[in-house]
Amino acid sequence: MSTPSCWSDVIFEAIERIRDEGATVLLLEQHALAAYEIADYLYVSEFGKLNMLGDAPKLLEESFVTAANLEGHLVKAIVYDVVGAPALVRDVAEPDCPEDGAVITVRATGVCRSDWHAWRGHEAVPLPHIPGHEFAGVIAAVGAQVRGFAPGDRVTAPFVNGCGRCEWCRAGDAQICPNQTQPGFSHPGSFAERVVVRVADVNLVRLPDELDFVSAAALGCRFATAFRALTAYRRVEPEDWVVVFGCGGVGLSAIMIARALGARVIGVDLSAAARARAAELDAVAIDVAETSTAIAELTGAGAHLTIDAVGSAATALAAVSVLRRGGQHVQVGLMLDADALAPLPWELLVAQELRVAGSHGMSAADYPAMLGMITDGLLDLRGLIAERIPLQKAGTAMMAMDNPVATRAGITVAVSDTGG
Ligand SMILES: [Zn+2]
Ligand SMILES: [Zn+2]
């Protein structure tokens, strides 16, 4: 079977055609032998690729598909078949290497609330799906067009990967590329032994020797996002007041970076455990209930820069409201559902020239400045990591995020058997 450029279009057109004929269509994974006996037609998928589609009794005669006869080698991955279904360890086919991409052997991968959002259906992903978008590892293979990287290189990648050709990519802003790909969202992610990075020359980042895989896995999403939020819109100066709403992965990263830049930092969170972590990172930690009075008392005229790492109407409004005149708010937390149109105090925005910006990760082009601060010893990522778990437990950790108040503050990193 040849490979069309867009599998999902082919699959959905074929399914529509079959349904129009009044037949039963089952969407299933490859081991469900029983389905061969009850369905008229079958669609068997492997990570968005169509492997079999057609008349069930005939297919049953011809062959029984297993992962082993798809591509050759098998690797372990954590997969869910439908939104909200258990994410379980499974054997999957070794991924193909794109001509311009690379296959990475995953050594460590962060478990992030964004993975949970996709799993819960807040963001559409191709199904079945492998989560995971913040990883570090070693290149296993590169495509023929890749010039700057080779097998054996230690690398990481941002969670947004650019096409490398559009005006935004050419300007170094791959994080807002309209043709972006995101491992763990647009294609299979890093809760697996192997992950694919497309347009490798644009999107891979070589790891300095002194940076271990576990620390590097914490960079690709939350830390890079925090770094950009603190440096892209208003460069934080020593003695500035920075207020961070939400002391999870992004928030704790922001606190650490802001402190390293010399700012005075306030961390706001509902969770006592998260506040304790913020305090360990040398922030003044306050409860949500005390927000406006405590911040006014501490800062006098208000905050120079606020970051909402939670993503809610209430925290965004609070963060904008505690700015000093001319202050900058950076919205990092995703604003979902009703919060997508959350109100802001526009009168203050105009009269006090407050600035509000969104921030969406960081491109590989901006990594050197961040890596420089790390290798110079200004930032120690190990302080952010709350827990190390085996790679095969990454799905369980993601599903445990159903509990909205984190029992553990900080980043959970899943590490392969071969070590972080
Ligand atoms: Zn993430
Ligand atoms: Zn682009």
Res 229: pLDDT: 95
pLDDT for residue 1 is more than 50: no
User: Which ligand sits nearest to residue 364's alpha carbon?
Assistant: 2
163 C-alpha to center of ligand 2: Å?
4
168 C-alpha to center of ligand 2: Å?
6
User: Which ligand sits nearest to residue 135's alpha carbon?
Assistant: 1
User: Which ligand sits nearest to residue 158's alpha carbon?
Assistant: 1
pLDDT-derived band at 8 (thresholds 50, 70, 90) equals very low
User: Which ligand sits nearest to residue 220's alpha carbon?
Assistant: 1
pLDDT-derived band at 74 (thresholds 50, 70, 90) equals confident
Res 108: pLDDT: 97
Top-confidence residue, 337 or 7: 337
Res 337: pLDDT: 87
Give the three-state DSSP class for 111: strand
pLDDT for residue 179 is more than 90: yes
pLDDT for residue 174 is more than 80: yes
173 C-alpha to center of ligand 2: Å?
8
pTM confidence score? 0.75
46 C-alpha to center of ligand 1: Å?
24
Weakest mean pLDDT among 63-77, 184-198, 200-214: 63-77
Weakest mean pLDDT among 30-34, 49-53, 172-176, 270-274: 30-34
pLDDT-derived band at 78 (thresholds 50, 70, 90) equals very high
208 C-alpha to center of ligand 1: Å?
21
Q: What does the pLDDT look like over 270-283, one tens digit per residue?
A: 999 899 989 999 99
Q: What does the pLDDT look like over 232-258, one tens digit per residue?
A: 999 899 999 999 999 988 899 999 999
pLDDT-derived band at 408 (thresholds 50, 70, 90) equals low
Res 224: pLDDT: 92
